[in-house]
Amino acid sequence: MRETHRGQPVLVAEGVQVRRDGQPVLDVSYLALHAGEILAVVGPNGAGKSTLLRVLGLLEAPGAGAIRWRGVPVVPGASTLPWRRRMATAFQDPLLCDATVAANVALGLRLRGERGDGADGRVAAWLERLGIAHLAARPARSLSGGEAQRTSLARALVLEPEVLLLDEPFASLDPPTREALLADLERILRQGRTTTVFVTHDRQEALRLGDRIAVLMGGRLAQLDRPEVVFAAPASEDVARFMGIETILPGRVLSRRDGLAMVDVGGITVEGLGDLPEGAPVLVCLRPEDVTLARADAGRGAPTTARNHIVGRVGQLTPLGPQVRVRVDGPVAVTALITRQSRDELDLKPGDAVVATFKASAAHLLPR
């Protein structure tokens, strides 16, 4: 993660509320964007991500609360143009004009009265940086989806904004195109230390780009932390499920020792990291990639380095490209994600007896 300045935030939303048709769609008590950081905003459809981005970008006024720019309140009802000129936005739909690629990239500069060799040089530089210099004279209507989105990003970045707002810019792109553009954008934002709010529903994009991740659930900020913390230690069951945890088991703490909690789960004892009191009801959360499988045949026992072993039978095998999701049914149901090679080497079929193994450090405990 990059080091980011933690002085006065560039942009703050405090007590922000938005309602539509009488229903709350956004309720954020406090969210600050710091200079040089990439804040990734994630959440399921309808969580309020795009609404939050519009409010931060001063494209929509909240029904309550305040937006502050470097400590200065943005006055409701007043012209927001001076602040909006310090930001730039790229949307999921590139929204290009019926003109050449170069003309589209130059559009924001022209609207701000910037013309001449200086403006032309900036346009040419950003066309080059985003790999579309060879398309400068091409009509925008003839571009592919990836080319159009690169043009949209160049149009935003050429303005050299103090804050860049990105609203799911990769959502409509095919995987190879998305990966190539994501790599280029990551390089550009890191090199330029561009202060960015990046909205996405794809947790992998957020984990890759974000210096911090803000998880929205039902319009509220469910968790805000570094990517590694949100990934490994989600703050709630909803966040855990959204971040890819597939096994969530209810249990009760039996005892604690040496930083480990012994938890009764369906009649078996599971060890996990935690400081919850004896008798506390908990949820044991396991990522599928942290679960290892071995056949329960004689002489092929579970690995000895992990503390937790659950014996069961293969209930379902679901191919997922190079990987296979395996549901193991036993005293409790556990999901594992293994490679196709492992599946073939183990010769797994539905009904086969297996041992699911995972380390205590992989079992994240949540209060229930």
Domain pair 11-241 / 247-367, same fold:
no
pLDDT tens digits, 238-288: 999 999 999 999 999 999 988 889 999 999 999 998 888 999 999 999 999
Report the predicted TM-score, pTM, of the whole model to 2 decimal places: 0.89
Q: Are 66 and 14 in contact (CB under 8 A)?
A: yes
Residue 76 has pLDDT above 90, yes or no: no
pLDDT tens digits, 89-119: 999 999 999 999 999 999 999 988 888 888 9
Mean of pLDDT values over 322-351? 95
Query: Quick one: what percent of the chain has pLDDT higher than 90?
Result: 84
Residue 4 has pLDDT above 50, yes or no: no
Residue 67 has pLDDT above 90, yes or no: yes
Query: Which range among 63-77, 119-133, 185-199 shows the weakest confidence by mean pLDDT?
Result: 63-77
Question: Long-range contacts for 312-318 (Cβ within 8 Å, ≥24 apart)?
Answer: 312/353, 312/354, 312/356, 313/350, 313/351, 313/352, 313/353, 313/354, 314/348, 314/349, 314/350, 314/351, 314/352, 314/354, 315/350, 316/350, 317/343, 317/348, 317/349, 317/350
Query: What is the predicted pLDDT for the residue at 7?
Result: 74
Q: In which band, very low, low, confident or very high, does the pLDDT at 2 lie, cut at 50, 70 and 90?
A: very low
The encoded tokens of residue 302 equal 């579970």
Q: What rounded mean pLDDT belongs to the chain?
A: 92
Residue 213 has pLDDT above 50, yes or no: yes
Any residues with CB less than 8 A from the CB of 71 and at least 6 apart, and which?
A: 8
Residue 299 has pLDDT above 70, yes or no: no
Query: What is the predicted pLDDT for the residue at 302?
Result: 44
pLDDT tens digits, 233-248: 999 999 999 999 999 9
Query: What is the predicted pLDDT for the residue at 6?
Result: 58
What DSSP state is assigned to residue 277? Answer: P
Residue 34 has pLDDT above 60, yes or no: yes
Query: What is the predicted pLDDT for the residue at 305?
Result: 61
pLDDT tens digits, 111-147: 888 888 889 999 999 999 999 999 999 999 999 999 9
CATH of domain 11-241: 3.40.50.300
CATH architecture entry for 247-367: Beta Barrel (2.40)
Query: What is the predicted pLDDT for the residue at 141?
Result: 94
Structural domain boundaries of the chain?
Answer: 11-241, 247-367
Gap between the Cα atoms of 337 and 244, Å rounded: 11
The encoded tokens of residue 201 equal 């529903």
